């Protein structure tokens, strides 16, 4: 099945650019918007990043403000990750996740992301048997959908655990200790 072969090849081939291949110069918003589709695998017009989305990510504290209306490779890396995360979690949850990497450089986070994405895409591609008959597609689709659901469930539950942990820390700081009572 040629379409299946093409999908498998796409999943094995397409990747966001490595850190060192980001543009050497900072980009203005229109350049950023035009650049980002190449960072997204099999993106559609519905998935396209817009200036309003970028501004919302900044307002939500998920993305730093531009440096004099120009966006750096750090912004490109963060937006690449955000565009994937927003498919699974809310912007608020993505911001919580990003806040858990305060001392880690964006480059390191991005490189880990690229490694994880490569492994995941390769794993899925390897499940696509080019000898698959059209009658077997529904079973494959169901299996991939169920696996996606299970991963999303785990991801969302882990974010809940992370959020609960944050709330406990905040409450512990607010609660007076025995020595504080007058």
Tens digits of residue pLDDT in 57-72: 999 989 999 999 999 9
Mean pLDDT lowest for which of 40-49, 84-93, 121-130, 156-165? Answer: 40-49
Q: Is the separation of the CB atoms in 40 and 47 below 8 Å?
A: yes
The count of other CB atoms within 10 Å of the CB of residue 14 is 12
Phi, psi of 28 (to 5 degrees): -80, 165
C-alpha distances out from residue 128 to 1, 11, 16, Å: 11, 10, 21
Tokens of 9: 């090849």
C-alpha of 122 from chain center: 17
Cα(121)–Cα(98) distance, integer angstroms: 22
- Rounded to the nearest integer, the mean pLDDT of the chain is 91
Tens digits of residue pLDDT in 141-161: 999 999 999 999 999 999 999
106-126 vs 73-85: helix crossing angle, rounded to 10: 40
Mean pLDDT lowest for which of 5-9, 83-87, 133-137, 176-180? Answer: 176-180
Encode 108-145: b = buried (16+ Cβ within 10 Å), e = exposed: ebbeebbeebeeebeebeeebeeeeeeeeeeeeeeeee
Cα(85)–Cα(47) distance, integer angstroms: 12
Q: What is the pTM for the complete model shown?
A: 0.86
Closest CA to 22 of 117, 122, 111, 121: 111
């Amino acid at each position: 099945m040629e379409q299946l072969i093409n999908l498998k090849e796409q999943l094995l081939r397409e990747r966001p650019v490595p850190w060192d291949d980001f543009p050497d110069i900072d980009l203005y918003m229109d350049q950023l918007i035009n650049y980002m589709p190449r960072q997204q695998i099999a993106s559609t017009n519905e998935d396209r990043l817009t200036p309003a989305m970028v501004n919302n990510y900044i307002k939500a504290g998920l993305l730093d403000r531009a440096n004099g209306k120009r966006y750096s490779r750090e912004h490109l890396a963060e937006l690449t990750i955000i565009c994937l995360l927003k498919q699974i979690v809310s912007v608020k949850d993505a911001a919580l996740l990003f806040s858990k990497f305060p001392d880690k450089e964006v480059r390191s986070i991005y490189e880990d992301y690229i490694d994880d994405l490569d492994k995941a895409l390769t794993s899925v591609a390897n499940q696509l048997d080019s000898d698959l008959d059209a009658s077997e597609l529904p079973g494959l689709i169901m299996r991939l959908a169920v696996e996606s659901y299970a991963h999303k469930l785990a991801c969302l539950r882990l974010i809940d655990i992370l959020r609960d942990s944050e709330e406990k820390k905040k409450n512990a700081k607010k609660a007076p200790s025995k020595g504080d009572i007058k």
